[in-house]
């Protein structure tokens, strides 16, 4: 067990966990931030995507000990009022079916748009293909990303 | 399976009551009759619906709260069902608040999400609920204003009279609550709809995009423990002994125990399917700790041998022998090949197919195979349970709380009214969550651990401890005479552990001489409903076969199907044909026109078409393949649907698009195989799901416009995707593919 002061959604949160505990479970089980989802635990589905210093990472693969001073942003902290351009685009296109994968999809999309504000279809595919949607909402996700890029 | 009351006479009981704060609540109970041939066959549901009850609450400050009776797994019922009430209530959708109802089959009906039933089942009752409430509000206004009720009109939640008086619903709700519920209400004509048929956004959209704890896996209470099950490593194995010493030394671990899910002789209902009966359970404080500690278990497993399950059913109790043995896909395929040559059970026969085949100028015979499929709901199976001697509280993702409650009641020895099941939003269902064994497991674990517990399946558990889509095969034969007329059709289907044949579906009824047969091989690999059960294989095989027959006859595949449907309509062969030829032809002509079939401008594409009827609705797709990086890629799809009145068009379009993506993914990649009883796939690195870059660039969805009562949409668009993909793939690769998943056949891996 070790104590960490993690910077999460702009706040310092203290946790006492086994250093190997993936950030995903730190968020879900210790910090009551269940917006970040478990889908595979092996970096294959993207449901657990969060931002580490603004870049998308798979939180199921990131041990608590490796976070250090890097800032973590989860879906709960993507925007204060749920009005990040990606979130707005997701509502506008009514993207979700079951919705389970969508936090991960939005975190990936927000990270993509930050470095590449006008991605092509191919760039969207390349960046987003680590995020599985079992309900098959891929077309709407792409439309939502593209509509954000237009603004 | 428990049926409460059934009747063919429609009666309704409406009850009003005063809400605290002066509003009204309308409870409506129906004894309604509804029949669903398709559902009966595929899901073994009771023949008529149970009592149905919808709730409308209107507060004095004019907030209209509508309860959604059915669990939500992404098909958007939390939006579409309340829309139906709101339509007849004539309320402003902006003022509507939707909440998931509690589990209460007496008040809220069957509460089953699956079989494409939700909208179909609740369409009439919810409309009547809305109409009754509206009438009471008008009556209240009429009495208050001293005018005849006929002169009180409503518009978007406002009551008014020509004399200038007006009031919102909230103002009249208190009085309305004291009035007698009327009889013989008139429902709106479809042309007057203002909410239904107008796209409305998902009522939980804002919660989804902000990561609110909506799902079962997100549910928690203070002091809740986490449990995981170590299941046997292979089908056909069971627990012999275990040593938990190392596990118990790990941080956060509370206890390890073994558990028997069903006692010997337990009478299983149709949805009590469970994969393994002897479970080894680790209980601890957090998910990660339990996950890790479980790896330290030293367990010995042994072969189960043949076992007997006792099944309860409509025909009474019966014993089913579950064969022991460690099965492998390769030997299963050999066994299927062997049985396909043997005599099978006749399911339907028209004319004299034997003679017709003997005299045929040409016989086309093809065999199709498809593997087990894992549902792979994005949210793995999980359930919360807190069971004490007095009561049981459970919460989590489940498609049919009413089916598991009697099971729980028996196993926990608690009366049904001491069992509370809360329905969380589900991260996908696809049929998997109709089987509530994981809920019973959670309940037993909680009782033994004497604590609130959340049972969690890891992805590996979820995939290897499944209730899969069965493994299917079918051999189709067509006889052509010297003039290339289709004179006989024969299908012989088999599977592990069931065949998929729907003997009374198309092309039955359209061919003079017809024979359908089926056979099956029992297995210990557990199977169950998977999005459009059986149809998802039939549509793939039959629609590929018809494509090949059309080609042999020198006919356009759409024209060929339309000719058969014309025959089925004008001069149907045999009895009990399940489909409506007009609606079937309707989706084919719609997809033909919308896709520009045979029209110039589409030369770049390798096109395939398929159509199918299942779950009371009709679907047709044209799939357009191009070669991309040397691989076939479905770039574009056109879909035509006939599901009657479409409640929420944009959400319906989303669901069809999702079904198309799902179908393409499973056709190309989906497969669960076994070696010596053990699943060979365990996570998404070796069970391939379709991803962003493999999804089409466009899926153009069209609905046949008619005023038929809604007939369901979750499943029907899924099956024909497989056939259309297969037919387009033939055009792309110049060869036919008979074995799913097609990517494996292309790579020669099956
Ligand atoms: S849970 Fe992390 S990628 Fe799937
Ligand atoms: S919306 Fe269900 S998994 Fe993506």
Domain ranges of chain A: 2-78, 85-150
Among candidate residues B204, B230, B259, the one where a domain is terminated: B204
Q: Read off the pLDDT of each residue in B209-221 and give the average, rounded to a whole number.
A: 98
Q: Which residue is listed with tokens 């051999």?
A: B475
What H or E segment, with its residue span, contains residue B80?
helix B77-89
> Do residues B47 and B182 share a domain?
yes
Residue B26's pLDDT band, with cuts at 50, 70 and 90, is low
Question: How far apart (Å, rounded) are the C-alpha atoms in residues B651 and B74?
Answer: 10
pLDDT at residue B22 in the model: 60
Copy the structure tokens of residue B432: 């998997």
Contact B287 A133 (CB under 8 A): no
- Cα(B695) to ligand 2 centroid in Å equals 14
Q: Strands of B153-155's sheet, edge to edge?
A: B153-155, B158-160, B166-168
Give the domain extent around B164: 3-204
Please say if the pLDDT value at position B1 is more than 80: no
- Say if strands B158-160 and B153-155 run parallel, antiparallel, or are unpaired: antiparallel
Please, is B536 exposed, middle or buried when counting C-beta atoms within 10 Å of its C-beta (0-12, 13-18, 19+)? buried
Question: How far apart (Å, rounded) are the C-alpha atoms in residues B347 and B201?
Answer: 45
Q: Among B70-84, B223-237, B345-359, B662-676, where is mean pLDDT lowest?
A: B70-84
Q: Read off the pLDDT of each residue in B3-25 and give the average, rounded to a whole number.
A: 46
- Cα(B704) to ligand 2 centroid in Å equals 27
Chain B residue closest in CA terms to A91: B205
Contact B211 A99 (CB under 8 A): no
> Do residues B436 and B580 share a domain?
no
- Cα(B686) to ligand 1 centroid in Å equals 14
Which of 121-150 (A) contact B at CB < 8 A?
A: 121, 124-126, 128-142
Q: Is the preceding omega at residue B741 within 30 degrees of 0, hence cis? A: yes
Please say if the pLDDT value at position B11 is more than 60: no
Q: Among A56-60, B171-175, B704-708, where is mean pLDDT lowest?
A: B171-175
Residue B356 lies in a domain: no
pLDDT at residue B21 in the model: 58
Chain B residue closest in CA terms to A79: B210
SS3 B4: coil
* Model confidence pLDDT, tens digit, residues B137-160: 999 999 999 999 999 999 999 999
> Do residues B258 and B399 share a domain?
yes
Chain A residue closest in CA terms to B661: A136
Q: Which of A98, A101, A124 to mutate to test the interface with B (most CBs of B within 10 A)?
A: A98
Q: Which residues are B278's β-sheet partners?
A: B260
What's the gap in Å between the CA of B67 and the closest CA on chain A?
Answer: 19
Question: How far apart (Å, rounded) are the C-alpha atoms in residues B340 and B519?
Answer: 8
pLDDT at residue A6 in the model: 98
Contact A99 B204 (CB under 8 A): yes
Question: How far apart (Å, rounded) are the C-alpha atoms in residues B628 and B545?
Answer: 26
Q: Is the CB of A138 under 6 A from ligand 2?
A: no
> Do residues B594 and B727 share a domain?
yes
Q: Read off the pLDDT of each residue in B451-471 and give the average, rounded to a whole number.
A: 98
> Do residues B117 and B177 share a domain?
yes
Residue B174's pLDDT band, with cuts at 50, 70 and 90, is confident
> Do residues B148 and B61 share a domain?
yes
Angle among Cα B353, B356, B359 to the nearest 5 degrees reads 150
Please say if the pLDDT value at position B244 is more than 80: yes
- Cα(A55) to ligand 1 centroid in Å equals 16
- CA proximity to B335, closest of B521, B107, B137: B521
Please say if the pLDDT value at position B9 is more than 50: no
B289 lies within 8 A of chain A by CB: yes
pTM for the model:
0.94
> Do residues B244 and B180 share a domain?
no
- B232 — phi, psi (to 5°)? -55, 155
Domain count, chain B: 3
Q: Which residue from B427, B695, B699 is facing A98, i.e. has the nearest CB? A: B427
Residue B275 lies in a domain: yes
Atom from ligand 1 closest to the CA of residue A37: 1
pLDDT at residue B5 in the model: 29
B482 lies within 8 A of chain A by CB: no
> Do residues B476 and B407 share a domain?
no
- Say if strands B166-168 and B158-160 run parallel, antiparallel, or are unpaired: antiparallel
Please say if the pLDDT value at position B10 is more than 50: no
- CA proximity to B164, closest of B187, B145, B149, B150: B145
Nearest ligand atom owner, CA of A105: 2
Mean pLDDT (chain B) is 91
Question: How far apart (Å, rounded) are the C-alpha atoms in residues B631 and B668?
Answer: 12
Copy the structure tokens of residue B295: 């790896």
Length of chain A counted residue by residue:
151
Residue B335 lies in a domain: no
pLDDT at residue B276 in the model: 93
Domain A2-78 has CATH 1.20.58.340: no
Residue B199 lies in a domain: yes
Q: Is the CB of A48 under 6 A from ligand 1?
A: yes
Q: Among B58-67, B393-402, B584-593, where is mean pLDDT lowest?
A: B58-67
Residue B60's pLDDT band, with cuts at 50, 70 and 90, is confident
CB neighbourhood size of B31 (10 A)? 19
pLDDT at residue B48 in the model: 24
Chain A residue closest in CA terms to B219: A34
Is residue B704 a contact partner of residue B114, using CB atoms and an 8 Å limit?
Answer: no
Radius of gyration of chain A measured on its C-alpha atoms: 15
Which residues are within 8 A (CB) of B109 and not within 5 positions of it... i.e. 6 or more apart?
B30, B49, B50, B51, B52, B53, B54, B69, B121, B122, B125
pLDDT at residue B101 in the model: 85
> Do residues B174 and B229 share a domain?
no
Alpha helices in B519-595 (DSSP H): 535-553, 557-570, 581-595
Q: Which residue is listed with tokens 């509000």?
A: B137
Question: How far apart (Å, rounded) are the C-alpha atoms in residues A29 and B279?
Answer: 25
Portion of chain B with pLDDT greater than 70, in percent: 92
Q: Among B114-118, B553-557, B694-698, where is mean pLDDT lowest?
A: B114-118
Q: Which of B80, B211, B223, B657 to mutate to test the interface with A (most CBs of A within 10 A)?
A: B211
The CA-atom distances, in angstroms, between B357 and each of B180, B339, B352, B473 are: 68, 21, 9, 21
- Cα(B216) to ligand 2 centroid in Å equals 15
Q: Which CATH number fits domain A85-150: 1.10.10.60, 3.40.50.300, 1.10.150.120, 1.10.510.10?
A: 1.10.150.120
pLDDT at residue B650 in the model: 98
What residues of B are in contact with residue A97 (Cβ under 8 Å)?
74-76, 654-655, 658
Which of 53-82 (A) contact B at CB < 8 A?
A: 74-76, 82
Contact B251 A1 (CB under 8 A): yes
Among B428, B462, B651, B658, the mutation site with the greatest number of ligand 2 atoms within 8 A of its Cβ is: B428
Contact B377 A138 (CB under 8 A): no
Q: What share of chain A is helix, strand, coil (3-state, %, to 5)?
A: 40, 20, 40
Contact B660 A138 (CB under 8 A): no
Residue B749's pLDDT band, with cuts at 50, 70 and 90, is low
Is residue B311 a contact partner of residue B318, using CB atoms and an 8 Å limit?
Answer: yes
- Cα(A39) to ligand 1 centroid in Å equals 5
Residue B88's pLDDT band, with cuts at 50, 70 and 90, is very high
Please say if the pLDDT value at position B34 is more than 50: no
> Do residues B551 and B457 share a domain?
no
What is the interface pTM, i.e. ipTM, of the complex?
Answer: 0.98
Residue B162 lies in a domain: yes
pLDDT at residue B45 in the model: 24
Q: Among A21-30, B29-38, B255-264, where is mean pLDDT lowest?
A: B29-38
Please say if the pLDDT value at position B4 is more than 60: no
Q: Which residue from A34, A133, A138 is facing B213, i.e. has the nearest CB? A: A34
Residue B213 lies in a domain: no
B250 lies within 8 A of chain A by CB: no
Among candidate residues B177, B204, B231, the one where a domain is terminated: B204
pLDDT at residue B14 in the model: 52
Please say if the pLDDT value at position B700 is more than 60: yes
What residues of A are in contact with residue B424 (Cβ under 8 Å)?
none
Residue B658 lies in a domain: yes
- B141 — phi, psi (to 5°)? -65, -40
What residues of B are in contact with residue A47 (Cβ under 8 Å)?
378
Residue B81's pLDDT band, with cuts at 50, 70 and 90, is very high
Among candidate residues B436, B464, B492, the one where a domain is terminated: B464
> Do residues B50 and B186 share a domain?
yes
Contact B213 A45 (CB under 8 A): no
* Model confidence pLDDT, tens digit, residues B503-520: 999 999 999 999 999 999
Looking at residue B515, which CATH number applies to its domain?
3.30.365.10
CB neighbourhood size of B607 (10 A)? 22
- CA proximity to B716, closest of B621, B629, B613: B613
> Do residues B481 and B439 share a domain?
no
pLDDT at residue B365 in the model: 98
Q: Which residue from B74, B689, B693 is facing A99, i.e. has the nearest CB? A: B74
Question: How far apart (Å, rounded) are the C-alpha atoms in residues B649 and B239?
Answer: 51
Residue B401 lies in a domain: yes
pLDDT at residue B2 in the model: 28
What's the gap in Å between the CA of B443 and the closest CA on chain A?
Answer: 21
Contact B376 A134 (CB under 8 A): yes
Q: Which residue from A96, A99, A131 is facing B692, i.e. has the nearest CB? A: A131
Q: Is the CB of A45 under 6 A from ligand 1?
A: yes
pLDDT at residue B17 in the model: 60
Q: Read off the pLDDT of each residue in B436-443 and give the average, rounded to a whole number.
A: 97
Expressed in angstroms, the distance from the first to the final Cα of chain B is: 38
pLDDT at residue B316 in the model: 84
* Model confidence pLDDT, tens digit, residues B706-727: 999 999 999 999 999 999 999 9
Q: Read off the pLDDT of each residue in B4-31 and give the average, rounded to a whole number.
A: 46
């Amino acid at each position: 067990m070790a104590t960490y002061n993690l910077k999460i959604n702009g706040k310092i949160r203290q946790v006492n966990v086994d250093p190997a505990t993936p950030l995903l479970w730190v968020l879900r089980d210790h910090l009551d931030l269940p917006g970040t989802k478990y889908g595979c635990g092996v970096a294959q589905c993207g449901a657990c995507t969060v931002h580490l210093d603004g870049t998308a990472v798979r939180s199921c693969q990131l041990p608590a000990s490796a976070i250090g001073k890097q800032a973590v942003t989860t879906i709960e902290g993507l925007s204060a009022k749920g009005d990040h351009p990606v979130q707005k685009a997701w509502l506008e296109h009514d993207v979700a079916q079951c919705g389970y994968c969508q936090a991960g999809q939005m975190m990936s999309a927000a990270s993509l748009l930050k470095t590449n504000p006008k991605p092509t279809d191919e760039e969207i595919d390349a960046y987003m293909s680590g995020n599985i949607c079992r309900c098959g909402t891929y077309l709407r996700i792409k439309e939502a990303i593209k509509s954000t890029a237009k603004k | 399976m428990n049926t409460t009351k059934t009747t063919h006479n429609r009666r309704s009981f409406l009850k009003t009551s005063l809400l605290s704060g002066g509003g009204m609540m309308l409870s409506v109970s129906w004894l309604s009759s509804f029949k669903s041939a398709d559902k009966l066959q595929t899901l073994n549901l009771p023949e008529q619906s149970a009592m149905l009850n919808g709730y409308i609450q209107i507060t004095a400050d004019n907030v209209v709260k509508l309860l959604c009776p059915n669990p939500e797994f992404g098909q958007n019922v939390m939006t579409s069902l309340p829309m139906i009430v709101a339509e007849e209530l004539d309320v402003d959708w902006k003022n509507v608040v939707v909440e998931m109802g509690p589990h209460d089959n007496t008040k809220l009906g069957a509460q089953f999400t699956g079989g494409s039933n939700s909208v179909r089942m609740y369409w009439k009752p919810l409309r009547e609920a809305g109409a009754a409430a509206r009438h009471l509000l008008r009556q209240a206004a009429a009495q208050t204003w001293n005018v005849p009720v006929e002169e009180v009109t409503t518009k978007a939640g406002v009551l008014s009279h020509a004399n200038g008086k007006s009031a919102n619903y909230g103002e009249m709700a208190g009085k309305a609550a004291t009035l007698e519920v009327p009889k013989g209400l008139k429902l709106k004509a479809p042309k007057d709809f203002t909410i239904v048929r107008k796209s409305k956004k998902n009522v939980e959209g804002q919660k989804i995009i902000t990561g609110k704890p909506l799902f079962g896996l997100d549910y928690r209470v203070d002091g809740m423990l986490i449990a995981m099950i170590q299941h046997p490593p292979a089908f056909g194995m069971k627990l012999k002994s275990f040593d938990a010493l190392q596990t118990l030394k790990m941080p956060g671990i509370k206890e390890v125990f073994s558990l028997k899910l069903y006692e010997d002789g337990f009478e299983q209902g149709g949805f009590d399917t469970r994969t393994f009966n002897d479970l080894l359970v680790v209980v601890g404080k957090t998910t990660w700790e339990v996950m890790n500690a479980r790896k330290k278990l030293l367990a010995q497993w042994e072969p189960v041998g043949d076992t007997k399950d006792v099944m309860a059913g409509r025909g009474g109790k019966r014993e089913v022998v579950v064969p022991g043995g460690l099965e492998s896909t390769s030997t299963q395929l050999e066994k299927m090949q062997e049985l396909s040559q043997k005599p099978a059970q006749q399911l339907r026969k028209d004319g004299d197919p034997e003679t017709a085949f003997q005299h045929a100028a040409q016989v086309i015979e093809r065999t199709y195979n498809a593997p087990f499929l894992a549902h792979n709901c994005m949210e793995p199976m999980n359930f919360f349970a807190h069971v004490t001697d007095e009561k049981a509280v459970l919460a989590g993702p489940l498609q049919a709380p009413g089916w598991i409650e009697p099971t729980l009641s028996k196993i926990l020895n608690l009366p049904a009214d001491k069992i509370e099941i809360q329905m969380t939003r589900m991260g996908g269902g696809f049929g998997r969550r109709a089987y509530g064994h994981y809920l019973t497991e959670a309940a037993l674990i909680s009782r033994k651990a004497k604590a609130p517990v959340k049972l969690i399946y890891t992805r590996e558990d979820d995939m290897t401890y499944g209730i899969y889509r069965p493994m299917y095969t079918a051999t189709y034969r067509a006889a052509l005479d010297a003039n290339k007329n289709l004179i006989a059709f024969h299908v012989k289907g088999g599977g592990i552990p069931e065949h998929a044949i729907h003997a009374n579906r198309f092309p039955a009824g359209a061919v003079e001489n017809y024979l359908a047969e089926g056979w099956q091989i029992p297995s210990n690999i557990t199977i169950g409903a998977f999005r459009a059960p059986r149809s998802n294989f039939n549509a793939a095989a039959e629609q590929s076969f018809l494509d090949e027959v059309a080609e042999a006859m020198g006919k356009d595949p759409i024209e060929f199907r339309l000719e058969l449907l014309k025959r089925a309509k004008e001069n149907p062969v045999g009895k009990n044909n399940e489909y409506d030829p007009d609606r079937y032809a309707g989706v084919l002509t719609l997809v033909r026109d919308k896709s520009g079939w045979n029209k110039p401008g589409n030369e770049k594409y390798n096109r395939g078409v398929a159509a199918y009827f299942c779950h009371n609705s009709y679907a047709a797709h044209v799939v357009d393949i191009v070669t991309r990086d040397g691989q076939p890629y479905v770039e574009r799809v056109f879909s035509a649907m006939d599901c009657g009145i479409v409640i929420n068009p944009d959400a319906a379009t989303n669901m069809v698009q999702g079904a198309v993506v799902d179908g393409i993914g499973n056709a190309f990649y989906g497969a669960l195989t076994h070696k010596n009883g053990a699943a060979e796939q365990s996570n998404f690195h070796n069970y391939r799901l379709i991803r962003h870059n493999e999804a089409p660039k466009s899926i153009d969805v069209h609905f046949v416009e008619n005023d038929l009562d809604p007939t369901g949409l979750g499943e029907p668009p899924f099956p024909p995707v497989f056939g259309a993909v297969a037919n387009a793939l033939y055009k792309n690769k110049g060869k036919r593919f008979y074995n799913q998943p097609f990517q494996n056949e292309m790579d020669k891996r099956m």
